[in-house]
Amino acid sequence: MDSTPRLAVLASRVRFEEKSIMTALEIRGVAFEHLDPRSLFVASGTAWTGPRVVLNREIGHFRALYAASALESTGVTVLNSAAATQVGGDKWQTSAALLRHGLPTPRTALAITPDAALAALAELGYPAVLKPLVGSWGRLVTRVTDPAMAAAVLEHVAALPSPQSHVVYLQELVPGADRDIRVLVVGGEALAATYRRAEHWRTNVARGAVSEPLPLTAEHIKLAVAAAAAIGTDIAGVDLIEDPEGRLTVLEVNDRVEFQGLQGAHGRTIDVAGAIVDHLLTRIAP
């Protein structure tokens, strides 16, 4: 009998989230393998003998994307899929997918060069936010308040060595927002939500934002589930923001969502890792 586990967790770093998922698997008596993408390779024309279902928790976008693509080429089921990782890990592709599905999102522009970004900002208006196409935790996200500041920032962007860095993602700054909403969606269902509050305008938990439990409303659920589906994700953290009139809009959809803040805010009332594992098990063929 083949003793190879049918399930694997793909991760180069085992953080709170990965430890929690592995613990949930152990509690359920599910055999699994920890796959480190730094030692993973897939050879064309060679049969894959490893697990048939892989939960993609790789922290690096490009490693996550190509590991998922390579594994899927052998017939492995990967959650989230390579297609979802490609869209969810790229802010412009995420915005484009949300717009295609008619979902509300802040006004956004994509400038193909830093020079074009100045013209785009003149139309978009100030203040605005410049974001890297790929990245998390609010790194390299910059608020610009006037053309002189924008020109200085974009001069720095133009000097970066990577051609991808010269493609500039721009988004209007939603006024008066000192908090946003994180909704966790698993298997097409909204599991829980938190407010994330910060003294700084960036509300990333990694930057010290505080998570507070938020009762889900029908509007939160409808918008978050629709946003996760628009990106093609099975498991997602959907970030919503309220404008001064209380209207909700979708900021981002995170395909390899971190949930330590949300789990801590809700305590024992929810089990995020358990919900992820239970959904994962539905994808394993009997």
Top-level class of domain 179-270: alpha beta
Please state, for a pLDDT cut of 90, what percent of the chain lies above it: 77
The domain limits of the chain are 107-172, 179-270
The string of pLDDT tens digits covering residues 179-193 is 889 999 999 999 999
Whether the per-residue pLDDT at 2 is higher than 70: the answer is no
pTM above 0.85, yes or no: yes
Report how far residue 231's alpha carbon sits from residue 97's, in angstroms, rounded to the nearest whole number: 6
pLDDT at 181: 94
pLDDT at 54: 97
Q: Which two tokens stand for residue 61?
A: 């976008």
Domain with residues 107-172, CATH architecture: 2-Layer Sandwich (3.30)
The string of pLDDT tens digits covering residues 148-199 is 999 999 999 899 888 888 899 999 988 756 788 999 999 999 999 999 886 5
The string of pLDDT tens digits covering residues 213-226 is 999 999 999 999 99
The pairing of beta strand 168-172 with beta strand 128-131: antiparallel
Please state, for a pLDDT cut of 70, what percent of the chain lies above it: 92
